[in-house]
């Protein structure tokens, strides 16, 4: 082989490696939760002094768990009035859930149909949920009779980061959904 042929093969090999690596490192993105805005029917409030955390577990029959490891990069919430904190929630056996980490609290005052987009930077593992913690006296929008297979749960009272509790069946419902969503991106 001649010198220029070897260089050509090496250049092609390097180009192929770069193309392969860029495809392998492409970032995945996913939205967890319903498309907003939606026709809100009710406001979700805790009614407890400690506040609570709501999280959708399914929407339209699709699981609301993170499909891959990455980070929450933004979230949207509809009809929010009060103080809210985005939380990463990990399921444990026996119906218990642990708050793994949370974003800084946001104070909002939105009309019922209004949607606010907020930036986030929360690491999330595959299989985690993302929930919205609201303080006592706060509320955000919900929708009844959502697509079949839509469900939400609540942690009442809302645990601190590292705290683990059972979901409260009195605050859970299938057929309704709480109106927030999150955008996650892989760390690729």
* pLDDT digits 0-9 by tens, 74-96: 999 999 999 999 999 999 988 89
**Cβ contact 16:24 at 8 Å:** no
State the DSSP string of 62-108.
EE-S-SSSEEEEEEEEES-EEEEEEEEEEE-GGGEEEEEEEPPPEEE
Both ends of the chain: CA-CA distance in Å? Answer: 39
Domains of the chain, residue spans: 28-186
* Arithmetic mean of pLDDT, 160-185: 89
Q: What is the mean pLDDT of the chain?
A: 84
Segment among 27-41, 69-83, 120-134 with least mean pLDDT: 27-41
pLDDT > 70: percent of the chain: 84
**17: confidence class by pLDDT, cuts 50, 70, 90:** very low
Q: Does the domain made of 28-186 have the CATH classification 2.60.120?
A: yes
Q: Residue 148 pLDDT > 90, yes or no?
A: no
Q: For the full predicted model, state whether its pTM sits above 0.85.
A: no
Q: Residue 5 pLDDT > 80, yes or no?
A: no
Select from 187, 185, 142, 181 the least CA-distant residue to 32.
Answer: 181
* Arithmetic mean of pLDDT, 38-54: 80
* Arithmetic mean of pLDDT, 152-160: 89
Segment among 16-20, 67-71, 96-100, 113-117 with least mean pLDDT: 16-20
Q: Residue 22 pLDDT > 70, yes or no?
A: no
Distance CA 44, CA 39 (A): 14
């Amino acid at each position: 082989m001649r010198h220029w042929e070897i260089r050509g093969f090496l250049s092609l090999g390097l180009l192929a490696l770069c193309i392969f690596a860029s495809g392998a490192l492409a970032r995945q993105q996913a939205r967890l939760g319903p498309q907003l805005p939606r026709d809100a029917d009710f406001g979700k409030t805790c009614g407890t002094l400690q506040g609570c955390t709501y999280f959708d577990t399914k929407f339209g029959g699709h699981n609301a768990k993170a499909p891959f490891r990455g980070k929450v990069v933004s979230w949207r919430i509809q009809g929010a009035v009060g103080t809210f904190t985005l939380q990463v929630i990990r399921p444990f056996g026996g119906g218990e859930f642990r708050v793994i980490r949370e974003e800084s609290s946001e104070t909002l005052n939105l009309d019922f149909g209004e949607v606010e987009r907020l930036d986030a930077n929360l690491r999330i593992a595959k299989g985690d949920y993302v929930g919205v913690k609201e303080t006592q006296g706060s509320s955000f929008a919900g929708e009844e009779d959502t697509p079949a297979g839509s469900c939400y749960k609540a942690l009442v009272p809302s645990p601190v980061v590292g705290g683990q509790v059972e979901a409260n069946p009195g605050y859970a419902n299938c057929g309704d959904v709480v109106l927030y969503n999150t955008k996650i991106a892989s760390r690729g």
